[in-house]
Amino acid sequence: MKQVQLERYIEEIMEAQEAAGMAVAVVEAQGEPLYQGFFGFRDREASLPVNEDTIFGIASCTKSFTCLALRQLEEKGLLDCDDLLSTYVPAFSGRHQPGLKLRHLMSHSGGFYPLPRIMVDEVAGDLGISDESEGDLAYSEKLALEGARRVACRLDAQKAGEGLIGPPGLYYSYCNDGYGLLSEVIRKRSGQSYASYLKEHILRPLSMERSGCGFVRPSRDDNAAILYRKKDGVMRWDRDYHDRAFVLNGGGAMKSTLRDMGRYLQMFLRDGRSETGQIILSEEGLGKMLQPLVTDKPGSAYASGLGVRAWGDLRLYSHGGSLPGVSSHILFSPDAGAGVVVLCNTSSVSVGLIAEAAFRAYLGREAVPARETPLSVEWDALTVESLPGIYRSGEGTVVEIRREGEGFCTEIDGKCRPLIPISRSCGLMEGRFSDERIYLHRRAGRVFAIGYGSRMIPKSGD
């Protein structure tokens, strides 16, 4: 394993992106991690280091736990992932989106654009409850019931041309609301809170003793990471694990450690079994969970809470996560018999690139391969005419694409970069550590939305 090259790359990214602390592991199906690396600090001000038991947020890496729980309940006969959402969440009638199934939400193919977050603190404040009055809000039935009602009603109100993209199963469009409602399905069918179900049926069997969805524990644990994020050009930090937390847990509430997440990935590499041989999910159920359900971009797809793509002759599964003070990434390949965990306590750090570099290093390849810029092409006249404009996500992302001379410029967060056409439906923006791509979605030849990051973002006015 090319450890020196990998660690040099990690340190370069951390310095450039002002990351406070990071933990990286490479695991195989059995035994202790093949590699562990600890960088920076869990608490920079007190110079407290990171170790394998430091608690980090994992944000959207939680989504695979949600799908694992659903597949478990499916094996027990308590639900079918082809069931309609309205069967379990009556507040979602499906009047504008008939045929919406659980598997559509599991694969972000429900047909919804990203929406503003309905947050824990907002709903708890309206209900007059708190961690102090209720105990940890991650376990609160009052919060879950009201959160599910609000999220379901909002999704149910989306209409064609007013929040709906198309029928279920047609488009990949990342939707945290959908995963929130999946956690409500788990609560209803299991008879336990989402957080309690995960603890009993996934975390304890895998000996993930320092993991959970709670807000209180990481805010008080001496070995939990301080959360760092830049706001208005100034780095800020606190222990506020409520910050930007979605009201329903299924999309991003989990907190975990490098040791625990290594055990989680080992379960996938052992065909659904714990280290002691306990079946967490049968091989058949695991096969369903890892089956691609919708294409998200050329060469890759989304399964149940995990992205999937080919890496040469290997199948590679992965997911990232981002919240204030959280950048996380998991990656594993049953074909290679290995997985990678990267946890960081700073927002907007390129942990996905680090995970891929660690996987390459495990395979004995160059951790950081030379970048190849694809050849440019020319877009047709209708694309050139319809592409410029402002694209707004309900989550707050704003992308402006405008003509600049004979080409295009893309402005995001006040930074403008040339957009180079590299295929009929894709443009490339060069970056320091990697290039970013924007995918064009058309109707009748005209661009009506773009794919940026994992989001489908509509054009303003369309």
How much is the pLDDT for 162? 87
In this structure, the answer to whether residues 94 and 145 fall within a common structural domain is yes
List phi, psi (to 5°) of 356: -65, -40
In this structure, the answer to whether residues 328 and 434 fall within a common structural domain is no
In this structure, the answer to whether residues 310 and 442 fall within a common structural domain is no
Residue 457 CA to residue 321 CA, distance in Å, equals: 19
**Residue-by-residue pLDDT tens, the chain, 462 positions:** 679 999 999 999 999 999 999 999 999 999 999 999 999 999 999 999 999 999 999 999 999 999 999 999 999 999 999 999 999 999 999 999 999 999 999 999 999 999 999 999 999 999 999 999 999 999 999 999 999 999 999 999 999 988 999 999 999 999 999 999 999 999 999 999 999 999 999 999 999 999 999 999 999 999 999 999 998 889 999 999 999 999 999 999 999 999 999 999 999 999 999 999 999 999 999 999 999 999 999 999 999 999 999 999 999 999 999 999 999 999 999 999 999 999 999 999 999 999 999 999 999 999 998 888 788 999 999 999 999 999 999 999 999 999 999 899 999 988 999 999 999 999 999 999 999 999 999 999 999 999 999 999 999 975
Whether 376 maps to a domain, the answer reads no
Domain membership of residue 6 as a residue range:
1-368
In this structure, the answer to whether residues 416 and 330 fall within a common structural domain is no
Least Cα distance to 72 among 201, 185, 179, 260 occurs for 201
How much is the pLDDT for 462? 57
Residue 10 CA to residue 349 CA, distance in Å, equals: 10
How much is the pLDDT for 302? 98
Whether 114 maps to a domain, the answer reads yes
**pTM (whole model) above 0.95:** yes
In this structure, the answer to whether residues 428 and 355 fall within a common structural domain is no
Whether 177 maps to a domain, the answer reads yes
Whether 374 maps to a domain, the answer reads no
Which of 368, 392, 418 marks a domain boundary? Answer: 368
Whether 393 maps to a domain, the answer reads yes
Rg of the Cα trace of the chain? 21
* C-alpha dihedral (384, 108, 115, 59), degrees to nearest 10: -120
Whether 375 maps to a domain, the answer reads no
Tell me, what CATH number does 290's domain have? 3.40.710.10
Whether 152 maps to a domain, the answer reads yes
| Percent helix / strand / coil, the chain, rounded to 5 | 30, 30, 40
Which of 336, 368, 400 marks a domain boundary? Answer: 368
In 304-370, beta strands by DSSP E = 307-311, 314-323, 326-333, 338-344
Q: State whether residue 198 is helix, strand or coil.
A: helix
The rounded Cα 127 to chain-centroid distance in angstroms is 28
In this structure, the answer to whether residues 344 and 404 fall within a common structural domain is no
Residue 183 CA to residue 306 CA, distance in Å, equals: 16
In this structure, the answer to whether residues 403 and 301 fall within a common structural domain is no
Residues facing 56 on adjacent strands: 256
Alpha carbon distances (Å) from 222 to 210, 237, 250, 322: 12, 15, 26, 22
Alpha carbon distances (Å) from 219 to 120, 238, 240, 243, 252: 15, 9, 7, 12, 17
How much is the pLDDT for 374? 84
In this structure, the answer to whether residues 347 and 386 fall within a common structural domain is no
In this structure, the answer to whether residues 294 and 344 fall within a common structural domain is yes
In this structure, the answer to whether residues 301 and 413 fall within a common structural domain is no
Residue 235 CA to residue 346 CA, distance in Å, equals: 10
How much is the pLDDT for 233? 86
The DSSP call for residue 26 is E
In this structure, the answer to whether residues 224 and 335 fall within a common structural domain is yes
Name the domain count of the chain: 2
Residue 420 CA to residue 50 CA, distance in Å, equals: 40
Which of 368, 397, 431 marks a domain boundary? Answer: 368
In this structure, the answer to whether residues 122 and 30 fall within a common structural domain is yes
Contacts of 24 (CB under 8 A, 6+ apart): 10, 35, 36, 37, 38, 39, 258, 340, 341, 342, 343, 354, 358
Looking at residue 139, its amino acid is Y
How much is the pLDDT for 328? 98
Instruction: Give start and end residues of each alpha helix (H) in 368-420.
Output: 381-386
The pair of structure tokens assigned to 237 is 């930090």
Tens digits of per-residue pLDDT, 306-342?
Answer: 999 999 999 999 999 999 999 999 999 999 999 999 9
How much is the pLDDT for 1? 67
Residue 141 CA to residue 129 CA, distance in Å, equals: 11
Residue 140 CA to residue 198 CA, distance in Å, equals: 15
